[in-house]
Amino acid sequence: MITDPQSSLERTLFDAATIASRLDALAADITAFYADKPLTVLAILNGSLVFAADLLRRIPLALRLECLSVASYHGGTESSGTVTFLQNSLPDFTGRHVLILDDILDSGRTLHAVRQRLLSEAAPLSVRVAVLLRKRKPRAQPLDADYVGFDIDDTFVVGYGLDHQGHYRNLPEVRILTCVTPAEKGVT
Ligand code: 5GP
Ligand code: MG
């Protein structure tokens, strides 16, 4: 994979085979829990696209899929602190159990904001959260995930859906990214 000029790809944390076998286990847990419940999966785009595509094909339930676009990084490598919803209205979750999927739980702001909006506007029967990655760090908001692929240290990672300025989402593995220029560390 060719890197962009301002960054360098470092060590692989999870290769494709490791991710695949972890998804088998996550999908089995999710399938068992939602076996008798009307499930709607809410994928947070763009980051969870690859995770959602691979996970959902391992869940043999009559689920529905909805997507929500949310921005929180705005190009930098540290969370901006603000969560922007790119759609005005939410799908109707009345009578549905909702499983929110995101790529990574970092500060917790994004998933907290999504969950609060769901609970206040969309009246789901329940809300759970599944993430591929969870950073070991204090959260800015009180939120934990019910299903976690892997716990990782507090470093910036890319691949398997996770980007840096739009790059690297198509890497089949999760890797650590180091920025070369100091300006890159600033939030844009
Ligand atoms: P939070 O709101 O939990 O701070 O951040 C969640 C979002 O920030 C994630 O959905 C993801 O888009 C982005 N993010 C957080 N940490 C990383 C990271 O290490 N790498 C990448 N590429 N994105 C991250
Ligand atoms: Mg994201």
Per-residue pLDDT of the chain (188 residues; tens, 9 = 90+): 666 666 687 899 999 999 999 999 999 999 999 999 999 999 999 999 999 999 999 999 999 999 999 887 655 666 666 888 888 888 989 999 999 999 999 999 999 999 999 999 999 999 999 999 999 999 999 999 999 999 999 999 999 999 998 999 999 999 999 876 555 444 33
CA torsion 116-119-124-125 (nearest 10°) is 110
CA of 69 to the centre of ligand 2 (A): 8
From ligand 1's centre to the CA of 106, what distance in Å? 6
Q: Please give, one letter per residue, the 3-state secondary structure of 111-129.
A: HHHHHHHHHHHHCCCEEEE
Token pair for residue 102? Answer: 């995101």
Q: Which two tokens stand for residue 171?
A: 């890497």
Please identify, by atom number, the ligand 1 atom nearest to the C-alpha of residue 106.
3
Determine contact, residues 107/77, Cβ cutoff 8 Å: no
Active-site residue set: 106
For residue range 42-75, what is the model confidence (pLDDT) as tens digits? 999 999 999 999 999 999 999 999 999 988 765 5
- CA proximity to 129, closest of 103, 99, 108, 161: 99
Question: pTM for this structure?
Answer: 0.91
Answer yes or no: are the C-beta atoms of 143 and 105 closer than 8 Å. yes
Q: Would the CB of 77 count as within 6 Å of ligand 1?
A: no
Which protein residues have a CB closer than 5 Å to ligand 2 (ion)?
47
> Backbone phi, then psi, for 159, in 5-degree steps?
100, 165
Q: Is the CB of 147 under 6 A from ligand 1?
A: no
Any ligand 1 atom below 6 A from CB of 42 = no
